[in-house]
Amino acid sequence: MKTFKTNPLYPLLRDAYIWLRDLPQLPGAYLHPWRRESLRRLAMLKDIHRGRRAFIIGNGPSLKYTDLRKLRGEITFGLNRIYLLFSELGFSTTYLVSINDLVIEQCAHEMAELVLPKFISWRSRRHFQHLPKVRPETLPTFLYTTYDLPRFATDARGRIWEGATVTNVALQLAYHMGIQQVILVGVDHNFVSKGPANTTVVSEGDDPNHFSPAYFGKGFRWQLPDLETSEIGYRLARRAYEKAGRQVLDATIGGKLTVFEKVDYNTLF
């Protein structure tokens, strides 16, 4: 069988190409007033929760069978439209993270009303520039996230690889904040809707893939998941946490993800 050797220069050439391609947006990503403020906030958040545990709450259907009321008082990272649950729970998550362009484009006006720390991808800042309810206290913290060069960022002030899911970004933020033990809930890693990864589709009715049928309800534009790439990110996260003597556990009820050690949600309290 004929074998091929990878040119050792390829990774360097690839990285150089991506750096040159992204060069025009770098000044804004680091010098724009909003981004400078974001870097200041991220510096203040570095290791702010050192030694603590935190929950990253996905948006899968399993949340319907998870008693989230037990998370009152815990450090929690909510993702995308988790705020649809806030009135039912009687409390909000500690943080909100959203990096998908389509989600932010269609929901920025809702996110702008939330008075809690929000982390948003820098490239989506345009959706907040003209909203009347964006005040200094509700302005998101903007993250410089990218699609390329898989890596796990231990410092969120630099480039953060998205890893095909906002959950991977939340894992990097939690590490940045010094979280010792991360527990995943609602990260089902399983979608009823099938098709090529990252394909943009328009919902034709109730959403079967999330905790609420209105999550990506009729007419909502969204992208089909890339579960394979997200698992690459999860494995990078597991290695980074373990190397630092930290831990990621998966307490999702009935979840299909196999990267992290499983734990019974109800034994955590």
Contact at 8 Å (CB) between 117 and 92? no
What are the pLDDT digits (tens) for 240-257? 999 999 999 999 999 999
Sequence length of the chain is 269
Domain count, the chain: 1
Reply yes or no on whether the pLDDT at 1 is more than 50.
Answer: no
99: tokens are: 């990096």
11 belongs to a structural domain: no
Asked if residue 151 belongs to a domain, the reply is yes
Distance CA 39, CA 45 (A): 10
Q: Which domain holds residue 85?
A: 28-268
The least confident of 81-95, 122-136, 178-192 is: 122-136
In a domain, 155, yes or no: yes
Beta pairing class for 200-202 and 221-223: antiparallel
As given in the structure block, the two tokens for residue 106 are 């269609």
pTM higher than the cut 0.85: yes
Secondary-structure percent of the chain, ordered helix, strand, coil, rounded to 5: 40, 15, 45
pLDDT one-digit tens code per residue, 99-147: 999 999 999 999 998 999 999 999 999 998 877 665 666 789 999 999 9
The percentage of residues in the chain with a pLDDT greater than 70, rounded to a whole number, is 86
**What average pLDDT is seen over the chain?**
90
Q: Which two tokens stand for residue 6?
A: 């990878």
Q: Is residue 20 in some structural domain?
A: no
Specify if 137 maps to a domain.
yes
Residue 6 placed within a domain: no
DSSP states of 77-118: EEETTGGGGHHHHTS--SEEEE--HHHHHHHHHHHTT--S-E
Place of tokens 């037990």: 70
Task: Tell me the pLDDT tens digit for each residue of 24-61.
Answer: 555 666 677 888 999 999 999 999 999 999 999 999 99
| 33 found inside a domain | yes
Rounded to whole angstroms, how far apart are CA atoms 170 and 98?
A: 9
Within-domain flag for 160: yes
